Amino acid sequence: MNTFIKKSITTVLFLLVCTVSYGQMAYIGLKDEANIRVAQNILLDNNVDGTYWPKTQIIDNYLYVPTLNGIYRKDLKALNNTDWELYAFEGIPVRDFIKNSGTVMAATAVWDDSNLLLLSTDNGLTYMDYTSESFPNPHWDNKATVLRIARNPHNRNSLAVLYRGVPGVALSTDFGVTWTLQNTLIGGYQDWFVGFNPNDTTNLFHTGEQLYFDSYIKATYDSGDAWTSVEAIQNHCTHGIAFHPSDKNRMVSYGEYRIAKSTDQGMTWSTGVPVPEYIYKVIYDPANPEILYASGADNGPDEGVRIHRSTDGGDSWHVFYEETMADSDGVMDIHLYDNKLIVYTLVNGVYYLDLGASNNFQIACEKQSAVYPNPASDVINVSFSGADEATITLINMNGIVFFREKTRKSVTAIPVQSFAKGTYFVTIQAGERMETHKIIIY
């Protein structure tokens, strides 16, 4: 890390609330067409890279969803039905795309040295292989793939892709005719995100997970001439960054069991707020950037949808909404549209939540759990009431899970004598309620 980057530690506070009533989300379709787990298995069965995490977008009142059969879209002004249009690249597995009027460039799920990028100038009806010869020859089993594609919001010819083969970021200033690979950006086996800071597009970020389960955030502040590591911790993976709507300095990163914040353009990051799942998306409310929403999925089978919200710019988070949904496997992507939260699940299709209505359902409550003694050096005891069963999770400040157990015991003892001294968080999920306690181990 460069010497001008100073280490930053921020104290995080938690807002503990009850969650809203169940069953308020409305289904709007695409369950069979956009099942991510099925798509991943199909790709693996065909010896294709199964790292398939499609990125949805809202453009001009339409929601666009990449699938193994091209890009589907839905008119968001018609939420009273489940009708979708197969918009572009029919029969082609698409991970990501950029669109400008009728011109669409797709990053495919192809695992090869051609057809990694496709270009259409007629809304996807016809298309051509747009894989540049300037991509370096892949040396990963002689195959390559493009995981993400991002466009500079202020210069349509300026693009960035996450490229696997020679892992890293490639940049183009001529709309993909030629590319320059950033060879110093070798990440690991999970490269997740590349994106321009919309408030200063000389500033780009690249995130993911390195070998040995260390997450990383790399950044450039001069359009790619020089890159630096701005965060590298034992937190498994950083899935992406949400940028403030107007302030180039403020942003939030999100990943496995953790949401962190920067107020100096990503040069330093807070220690982060532990959360009880993998966070796949965080968004700002452009009408009030102090409000943010986050969602994701458990690491393993998931039986519900959980939405987190911050009302203080990302310093603290609480569970805003939760709904039991059998075999849902959690949430891949979320968007705000017309005071509605659009929710794209991993296996159950697309839903929306009316935020105006759900705000009325949220209620405050007193704690029904306890963690003691605090501080502790030998054993901590976790008790809960108000439910027959609870899931107890112990996480450190970096989001690393040290203990997780589903129990029916009213008191659970957790030995901590072998743990490093420091601050930890205990989360108790009991029925509809989730409460988090900050503890000190000495």
The residue written with tokens 């020859």 in the block is: 137
Residue 66, token pair as written in the block: 């990449």
Q: Look at residue 137 in the predicted model and tell me its pLDDT.
A: 58
Return the half-sphere exposure (C-beta side, CA atoms, 13 A cut-off) of residue 42. Answer: 14
What backbone phi and psi angles, to 5 degrees, belong to 322? -145, 140
Q: Output the CATH code of domain 369-441.
A: 2.60.40.3080
Rounded Cα distance between 396 and 184, Å, is: 31
Between 371 and 106, the more confident residue is 106
- Which helix (DSSP H) or strand (DSSP E) does residue 44 occupy? helix 36-45
Q: Which residues of 97-108 are buried (b: 16+ CB within 10 A; e: fewer)?
A: bbbeeeebbbbb
27, 82 Cβ separation under 8 angstroms: yes
Query: Region 7-35: what's the mean pLDDT?
Result: 58
Question: Is the pLDDT at 17 greater than 70, yes or no?
Answer: no
Task: Look at residues 267, 348, 272 and name the one whose alpha carbon lies nearest to residue 315.
Answer: 272
Given a cut of 90, whether residue 322 has pLDDT beyond it is: no
Residue 367 predicted with pLDDT over 80: no
pLDDT at 138 over 70: no
Span of 229-233, 415-419, 433-437 with lowest mean pLDDT: 433-437
Helix residue spans in 58-169 (DSSP H)? none
Local confidence band at 107 (pLDDT 50, 70, 90 cut-offs):
very high
pLDDT of 22 > 70? The answer is no
Rounded to the nearest angstrom, the gap between the alpha carbon of residue 375 and the centroid of all alpha carbons in its chain is: 33
For residue 176, what is the DSSP state? T
Region 306-313: mean pLDDT is 90
User: Over the stretch 59-68, which tens digit does the pLDDT of each residue have?
Assistant: 999 999 999 9
Provide mean pLDDT across the span 94-102.
93
Dihedral (CA of 152, 157, 161, 167) sign: negative
Which of 14-23, 136-145, 413-422 has the least mean pLDDT? 14-23
Task: Give the range among 9-23, 42-56, 196-210, 313-327 with minimum mean pLDDT.
Answer: 9-23
Cα–Cα nearest to 281, from 295, 298, 269, 262: 295
- The whole-angstrom separation of Cα 251 and Cα 315 is 11
End-to-end CA distance of the chain: 30
Average pLDDT, integer, range 167-171: 82
- Among 27-41, 94-108, 235-249, 380-394, the range scoring the smallest mean pLDDT is 380-394
H/E element, 357: helix 355-358
* Cα–Cα distance, 284 to 299 (Å, whole number): 25
Kindly tell me if the per-residue pLDDT of 350 is higher than 70: yes
Q: Check residue 8 and give its pLDDT.
A: 27
- Asked if pLDDT for residue 347 goes beyond 50, the answer is yes
pLDDT on residue 366? 43
Tens of pLDDT along 252-267? 999 988 899 999 999 9
C-alpha 171: how far from its chain's center? Answer: 22
* Domain spans, the chain: 26-358, 369-441
Q: Which pLDDT does position 321 carry in this prediction?
A: 86
What local confidence, expressed as pLDDT, does residue 49 receive? 72
Please report the pLDDT score of residue 440 as a whole number. Answer: 87
Average pLDDT over residues 359-378: 65
Q: 323-332: per-residue pLDDT in tens?
A: 888 777 899 9
45 φ/ψ angles, rounded to the nearest 5 degrees: -65, -25
Q: Which amino acid is at 85?
A: E
Backbone angles phi, psi at 397, to 5 degrees: -65, -20
Most confident of 44-58, 94-108, 427-441: 94-108
Query: What is the residue-averaged pLDDT of the chain?
Result: 84
Q: What is the pLDDT of residue 60?
A: 93
CATH number of the domain located at residue range(s) 26-358 in this protein: 2.130.10.10
Q: Cβ neighbours of residue 274 under 8 Å, at least 6 residues apart?
A: 257, 258, 395, 396, 397, 399, 425, 427, 436
In this predicted structure, the answer to whether residue 9 has a pLDDT above a threshold of 50 is no
Q: Is the pLDDT of residue 16 over 60?
A: no
Lowest mean pLDDT: which of 161-165, 176-180, 197-201? 161-165
The three-state secondary structure class of 431 is coil
Mean pLDDT of 306-326: 86
